[in-house]
Chain A
């Protein structure tokens, strides 16, 4: 167990819908990262937050957004969902400059 928690574990929804994925970092970690893992794309960095502020952005679609709250948990919002958004979504956390530890992931299925 890495200490990073993610909810829900599984999510099944229809195209066009909106979902929110939640992540709680390890105690003491200020940085949260979101990654998308699909079969043909591997692990892709989406976005990073540090202590409530956006710090780095990767290949995140405009339909996706994220935020980090004062208690340091983070939410990833995915809207206008398409079939191609089906993937495993991982969050990871780290101390200011350190190793990243991954949560168990949320498996999103868009039908």
Chain B
């Protein structure tokens, strides 16, 4: 089955700096890669996703890149703010009819220091 590895497990950045989280996946058939942000005790919230026919996607201060050949994808957060502090999870799945199960990476705890 699919295996997703995520690095680093913790990341501390100064407010205003950039944060980068990297993930690798094992199943070359995976074609959907969402990123979730989870604050303490709360539900994971979808913040951005990318499909395998796209190399990069941007939404304000957040961007995701995908390298299908190398089977890795990354989340970039620019101009970090204290409210960006949370645990971030990458995931991979094979989108097919009637849904897709997500395989998650281990998570990255991001701390933005004011």
Contact = CB atoms under 8 A, between A and B. Distances in A.
Interface of A: 2, 30-31, 33, 35, 42-45, 48, 50-51, 55-56, 58, 90, 94, 96-97, 99-105
A45 B99 contact: no
B49 to A, nearest CB: 6
Interface of B: 34, 36, 42-46, 49, 89, 91, 95-107
A102 B43 contact: yes
A45 B98 contact: no
Nearest to A47: B101
Given A42-B106, A97-B96, A90 B101 contact: no
Given A97-B95, A97-B96, A104 B43 contact: yes
> Taking each of A55, A94, A100, A105, which has the highest tally of chain B beta carbons within 10 Å of its own beta carbon?
A100
Given A99-B34, A99-B49, A100-B34, A43 B99 contact: no
Main secondary structure of the interface of A (DSSP, over half): strand
B82 to A, nearest CB: 23
Given A31-B99, A43-B107, A97-B99, 18 more contacts: A2-B45, A33-B102, A35-B102, A45-B101, A45-B102, A45-B104, A48-B101, A58-B101, A96-B97, A97-B96, A97-B97, A97-B100, A99-B34, A100-B34, A100-B100, A102-B43, A102-B44, A104-B42
Contacts of B45: 2, 102
Given A42-B104, A43-B104, A99-B34, A90 B44 contact: yes
